[in-house]
Chain A
């Protein structure tokens, strides 16, 4: 596959994985937790490096998943002991991220791990960091990571579909039925952490938030069905990756930046033109209503 095709595939996988998983966060009104986790997983990555002395995929995933779930846990803990929930997120996320920033400065120059890379990523380098098996080039590592995380997420969503749906819509009723609400919560946080780490190299910690939240928020304006919303969110993620990449190549600008901009563009389009929830249709409906009533 060509260099461009690999980047396009990587971007699409980021859009798909983050879109589907992030939509769940949007529905649970926990978008800011995605922001928090996307930053704190840096600590997990650095931590994994100090333990294994390598930037290998698997330990990095485990470290990130642990810190991601810990982030959610600390936020929950502060929240339930009386700290405002937005303040709880602010405190936990900045302190854990700061700890990651401090630790990262102990990492030598020989290793490709620095704050700027973590924050911004660089999808243009992805095709060169390949996975090799017995001398065979199996394509970029990022594609394998994203693909695995996507499959894990889909598996979890399929298995716990009705539990995820109920705990999102009516958590109290879920408790009443004996569904382990907290387990589902941390399962989702784990999925968010994995998606973030897998997307790290490509789009970085800041733009991954756009990929997690904006497609879900866009799909929310377009459909009234839970399952359709998840699928649509993933598709919007892919569409954003394709159009963003095309624009970046055409005008020679940051690829990750234009992909994130594309998500914003689709959101604005849906916000205005959505047949059900768009402001334009609402206005037309209101005008009709007021003109029919003298």
Chain B
């Protein structure tokens, strides 16, 4: 069964199409890396699917139902730079925000929610920092707070936007562990990723994107030299560095 199905998705900024007729299916329980050059529209794709930015056209289905009816099933780890970390709040409070969608309008988070948030913090190794103001956390720790918030959402499909950018080794490990755990629980994960070296280690599925999809499917099948050349176009030199990795596999 497909956890996510995107059809004919087009996003336009000032009449310039950023994404054109994007369509793909993501099977349940897969770990998908969204790969493509800078400006390929990777983050835009995620945001358009999550309806955070307006789209010109497109149909998004989650477990065979329209997106807006399955909103509860969606978890999201945005790029760290999307929020102001000077905001006066603690790590625990940010993680609690992951529960807001379940608590409902007007109501307050109770003991159960706080326990869930603390558990999420513990899972990413941040239990000692729950009362810390978020600007006093390192970049990696902030990323882990966002991971914990997604964890607290208890979603079925997770979207992550460049989670590995600028994080320390401990955080990288926490992200990989979490992705694996989600996969084992039958959850679906989509990650915007730009490091070609690690694609085969992290993901069993890839979506190659350059304004429109070049390929989508199991990594073994789709992550090929030919497809990469087509995705990255003129930047052959860049691909050259990674061709070693690809050839080793063959």
Contact = CB atoms under 8 A, between A and B. Distances in A.
A117 interface: no
Given A159-B106, A170-B83, A225-B90, A176 B100 contact: no
Looking at B88, B93, B108, B135, the one whose CB has the most chain A CB atoms below 10 A away is B88
Interface residues of B, number: 28
A86 to B, nearest CB: 18
Nearest to A177: B101
Contact of B101 (A29, A170, A178): A178
Interface string A163-182: 10110111011111111000
A91 B103 CA distance: 41
B87 A168 contact: yes
B76 A169 contact: no
B106 A169 contact: no
Interface string A233-250: 000000000000000000
A162 B82 CA distance: 19
A224 B100 CA distance: 21
B106 A160 contact: yes
B13 to A, nearest CB: 11
Contacts of A161: 108
B180 interface: no
A226 B76 contact: no
A220 to B, nearest CB: 7
A176 B93 contact: no
B84 A176 contact: no
B89 A165 contact: yes
Contacts of B109: 162
Given A166-B100, A226-B93, A176 B50 contact: yes
Contact of A225 (B47, B82, B89): B89
Contacts of A176: 50, 52, 71, 74, 76, 101
A104 B65 CA distance: 56
A226 B92 CA distance: 13
B44 to A, nearest CB: 13
Contacts of A165: 89, 93, 97
- Max chain B Cβ within 10 angstroms of own Cβ: one of A162, A166, A174, A220: A162
A37 interface: no
A101 to B, nearest CB: 37
B133 interface: yes
A169 B84 CA distance: 7
Contacts of B93: 165, 226
A177 B71 contact: yes
A77 to B, nearest CB: 14
Given A175-B51, A176-B50, A177-B71, A169 B82 contact: no
A226 B88 contact: yes
A173 B78 contact: yes
Interface string B38-64: 000000000100111000000000000
A226 B76 CA distance: 23
B51 A172 contact: no
B132 to A, nearest CB: 9
A208 to B, nearest CB: 24
Given A172-B47, A229-B88, 17 more contacts: A27-B88, A165-B89, A165-B93, A165-B97, A166-B100, A169-B97, A170-B83, A170-B97, A172-B52, A172-B78, A173-B149, A175-B50, A176-B50, A177-B101, A224-B90, A225-B89, A226-B87
Interface of B: 47, 50-52, 71, 74, 76, 78, 82-84, 87-90, 93-94, 97, 100-101, 103, 105-106, 108-109, 133, 135, 149
